[in-house]
Structure formats: structure tokens, C-alpha cells
Amino acid sequence: MAVLDTATEVSASGTPAPSSDGERGGRGGQRRPRRTREREPREFEQTILDLARVTRVTKGGKRMRFRVALVIGDKKGRVGFGVAKGADVQMSIQKAYHQAKKNVTNLELVNGTFPHRVSASFSSADVLLMPAPSGTGLKAGGAVRTILELGGVSDAVGKILRGHNKLNVAKAVFNALSQMTIPEGVTTDKEQRASKRKEIRKEASKKVAKKTTAKS
């Protein structure tokens, strides 16, 4: 007389049935689905302005590295610039991104453009930035256009008066941006956005207060 084990159930075909836990029932069990982590969006968008391979001559021979010039911005009035070297391209990009985050500049914009005309220079590069009426768009090229786009400037005119080196032109643009001043009595785009957020919070608090009084 055959004795059956009570811990296992036998199907009609004589093969033991899979366990009832449903997660891992041996070979025939179902596997747990893998959890996919969603990547959080970055605070800044980045654009590689220049990528070059540089070599350094040492006693042991030539040492090759990569130099990356990177521009970052949130298109809401903040923009930064960083230059870094690394053994490979990915490493140099990460180093340049962290350096650019340390050197973020807040743009003083009025209705999406500059408050006044300004010119600046760095080394052999000279640039000129001018305001433009709404609807003009960005009339600039090269490094100037990249920086203004990532900074959130919608209408402006930028000219490179002298110089062809992208790094010098970018540093000249940041020197010009640091010279921007807001006249008295003029509200910037940043201040307008802050006042709108305050009004939204006040309206939300009023609605919550009305609901609490109605319930009581």
C-alpha cells in the first residue's frame, strides 16, 4: 500500500503540483516583477560647448586627456559654465557639470530680455548684448546663443565683435551678464513669478479656511 506525503498534492497525471505561494514555486512558479526606478529629471539642462583632446608631454611619454566646456541652465533665469578635464569623455562631462553648478549666474531679465545694453571682453574676445522687443527672438550665434537659450532669454540681440575661441567668448558673455543692473521701479521676471506664487498660495489658504468654517 503506497503512502502519499500530505505536504505535497498530486495531480491526476501523477506529477506534484506547484506550491500555492505564487511568488516562487520552483521551476514552474511565477517570478516577482522587477521594480524599475524612474529617473528624476535634472535640475539643469546641459549643452557641450566644446570638446577637445589635449596631450601633455611628460618623461614617460605623452599623456592624453579630454577637455569639455559645458553650459547648463534651467531656462528660467539661471545659467552656468564649467570647464574640466578627464581621462575619458564621460568623466570630464561630469566634472564640468559639477563645476558649472558652482558657478551658476542669475540673470536679471525684464519681459524676457535684458534691461539695457552692455558689452564685455575676456582675453581676445569681445561681445555685445542688447535688449530687443517681444517677438524678436534670439538673434545671436555660437556660444552666445547657447548661453542665452539655456538662461531663458526669449528676445535679445548678441554679437561677437572679436574672437573665435569658444571658451573666451563664453567667459566674455558671463562677464557681460554680471554687469546687468535693474533700474529703480522696474520689476524683473523673477519677482513677477514670485508674486504670482504668493497670490496662488493666498487663494489656496482662503479656500481651505472656507472649507473648515463650513464644516464647523
The pLDDT value given to residue 8:
44
If 0-12 CB within 10 Å is exposed, 13-18 middle and 19+ buried, where does residue 27 land?
A: exposed
Average pLDDT over residues 167-173: 95
Between 59 and 67, residue with greater pLDDT: 67
Q: Which CATH class is domain 45-178?
A: alpha beta
* Alpha-carbon gap, residue 124 to 138, rounded angstroms: 24
The pLDDT value given to residue 37:
53
79-110 pLDDT per residue, tens:
999 999 999 999 999 999 999 999 999 998 88
116-162 pLDDT per residue, tens:
999 999 999 999 999 999 999 999 999 999 999 999 999 999 999 99
Give the global pTM. Answer: 0.71
For residue 116, the SS3 value is coil
As given in the structure block, the three cell numbers for residue 58 are: 611628460
Q: Among 68, 50, 75, 193, which Cα is nearest to 138's? A: 75
61: which residues sit within 8 A by CB, 6+ positions away? Answer: none
